[in-house]
Amino acid sequence: MRADFINPFLHAMMNVLRTMCQMQPQVGKPVLKEDNIARGAVTGFIDLMGEQTAGSLAISFSEPVALDLVERMLGERPTKIDDTVRDLVGEITNMVSGGAKKILSEKGFDFYLSQPVTFVGEGHKILHSVYGPKILLPFHVESGDFVVEVCFRE
């Protein structure tokens, strides 16, 4: 997968966390993902469909990170993953995909975005709608770790 398809998601995730959550995330080394198992307790997922190519984005948060995000953005901390957490994870996924879509459109790649969906539970599966390499971008924030997973059709 080309870096010009991954970097927009990296930049958009950093921007959302810095502006909406006042977080300074650290980014790890991207790795190729070989399985379909989520690396977190709650995942936001969205499809990106375009004429030139298609792909999808999944953002999987550990429970501590997801609860911290809700507290930072809404001012109250839930005790567990609930509907508020699910909604916020979906909204963050929407903001990140929208930010990446803007960057990609400036490079001549136009996409339609699906509605984000969320999945909850340790070990849930992420099934991308296209066949291609799945790249994991690991992130670390004060409250823990999470990953951004990007998959584009080859």
Q: Are 136 and 33 in contact (CB under 8 A)?
A: yes
pTM for this structure? Answer: 0.95
Tell whether the model's pLDDT for residue 5 goes beyond 90: no
Average pLDDT over residues 129-141: 94
The enclosing H or E element of 4 equals helix 3-21
What are the structural domain ranges in the chain?
3-152
Q: What span, in angstroms and rounded, lies between the C-alpha atoms of 33 and 28? A: 14
Tell whether the model's pLDDT for residue 1 goes beyond 60: no
Determine the pLDDT at residue 101.
94
Q: Are 149 and 84 in contact (CB under 8 A)?
A: no
Interval 99-134: pLDDT, tens: 999 999 999 889 999 999 999 999 999 999 899 999
Q: What span, in angstroms and rounded, lies between the C-alpha atoms of 101 and 116? A: 14
Q: What span, in angstroms and rounded, lies between the C-alpha atoms of 101 and 113? A: 9
- Residue 153 phi/psi, 5-degree rounding, is -60, 140
Q: What span, in angstroms and rounded, lies between the C-alpha atoms of 52 and 133? A: 17
Give me 129's structure tokens: 């709608």
Q: Give the whole-number percent of the chain exceeding pLDDT 70.
A: 98
In degrees, to the nearest 5, what angle opens at C-alpha 115 toward C-alphas 49 and 137? 70
Q: At a CB cut-off of 8 Å and minimum separation 6, what does 106 contact? A: none
Going through 88-133 in order, the beta strands assigned E by DSSP cover: 112-113, 117-120
pLDDT-based confidence at residue 2 (cuts at 50, 70, 90) = low
The class (CATH top level) of 3-152 is alpha beta
Q: Name which of 46-55, 75-84, 89-98, 117-126 the model is least confident about.
A: 46-55
